[in-house]
Amino acid sequence: MAKFNKLQVLSAMVSTGMVPVFYHKDIEVAKNVVRACYEGGVRAFEFTNRGEFAHEVFGELTKWTAKECPEMIMGIGSVVDAPTAALYIQLGANFIVGPLFNPDVAKVANRRLIPYTPGCGSVSEVGFAQEMGCDLCKVFPGDVLGPNFVKGLKAPMPWSMLIVTGGVKPEEANLKSWFDAGVSCVGMGSNLFPADVIAAKEWGKITQLCKDTFSIVNQVRKK
């Protein structure tokens, strides 16, 4: 069962401006990454459903996080169907993210008042997702669609809340282009978790990357 309500989840995502996107089959690595992000100011974390028995890792991770990082809001990503969404909700997912929009997932999430952020690649998809109760839609893949897609969509639909994932980097020029275009927040994966840093277990570097990213986000938002 979700620990945080819908308003708390969306508020954390938008107020901080960045949601890490991460998967690892090793629970100890996952714990260290979550703690590093937490110490870096992260309050909403997306663990992705990308490996065998990912749900087992997530279940253990959410229990651990509730005790060790009590303000961290754990969600699940890479969800494409309703049964998978229901499984992760039972394991404590506070929000659901997908690479595509599936109305059946929206129904499951809405029934439990859990945010569902589907991946959308067109204005029509965003519109349909909003009709199904998706407050925050994901522009995906971001590196293909680009900031101009966000800017173009927001012109006739200024009420839209958007997060972008794919091609987002912890760099001022990159982040400025997305926030200037009108996104509410960004999702960041591999660029926040360099493979060599994970392999060397240099958790402090991840914490610093998070802090640096938030600093840039705050700067570009003020501008």
| Rounded Cα–Cα distance for residues 167 and 174 (Å) | 9
Say how many C-beta atoms besides its own lie within 10 A of residue 8's C-beta. 17
What are the two backbone dihedrals, phi and then psi, of residue 24, each rounded to the nearest 5 degrees? -155, 140
Whole-angstrom CA distances from 13 to 27, 59, 62, 103, 135 are 24, 21, 18, 22, 12
The answer to whether 74 and 88 are in contact (CB under 8 A) is no
Structure tokens at 185: 């927040």
pLDDT tens-digit series, residues 76-109: 999 999 999 999 999 999 999 999 999 999 999 9
Report which DSSP code applies to 114.
Answer: -
Whole-number pLDDT of residue 223 = 67
Whole-number pLDDT of residue 1 = 79
- The residues near 204 (Cβ < 8 Å, ≥ 6 apart) are 36
Q: Tell me which residues of the chain have a pLDDT lower than 70.
A: 223
